[in-house]
Amino acid sequence: MDDARRHGSAAFSAPTRGHVRGIALSVALWMLAQVWPDSRCLADDEMQAPGGTEEERIIEVESIGRWLRAHFSSDELTQLRADDIKVGRHYCGCYDQPTRHYPYSIVVIATPRGDLITRPEGVETSVRFTPLAVRHGERYCDVDSEHCFGSFPDICSFTDYRYGPYLGQYFPTCKMDDDEQTVMTHGR
């Protein structure tokens, strides 16, 4: 099959806002299924809100589309296929081994131009993905500028660096070893 037919348009036509939005929506739907499981219903059950009305979930994908448009040329976006983008989820936590991390949920959108690191944020029946950084190998940089935070061996080390000072206030024993936690909670 030629490129024009595979992409549904002329091979070198400018990508439409709908094309970029379609890619972003596909990524977001996969992310939503991974980070927002609904434990209240089974596959055969109808989703009903407590008042008996159907529940509707809203996904905000504009931030993903904006990032794609900023990092890919029009030609590259037109030629971008769904399998060029990989999505993964990561959960950092106080019980991670060998290194404890502050609790944080991350969704990574891996692209040929770097990995977009996002934070899923759910409010009632909607979810959005807030871009936090762009990762190139072990180097993490700001989404909107040339500023880089540094190199980190894993994503949880990055979130500890970036958000640890805030999270430490709410999880004061998270990074302590077991002996320190015992002394703190039970005394000597």
User: Structure tokens of 183?
Assistant: 């002394």
Write down how long the chain is: 188
pLDDT string in tens for the chain (188-residue length): 444 333 333 333 445 555 555 556 556 555 545 444 444 444 444 444 445 445 555 556 677 778 888 888 888 888 888 788 888 889 999 999 999 999 999 999 898 889 999 998 887 777 788 899 999 999 999 998 889 999 999 999 999 999 999 999 999 999 987 555 444 444 44
CB 141 within 8 A of CB 148: yes
Is the pTM higher than 0.75? The answer reads: no
Distance spanning both ends of the chain, measured CA to CA: 73
Secondary structure (3-state) at 106: strand
Integer Rg of the chain from CA: 20
CB 33 within 8 A of CB 109: no
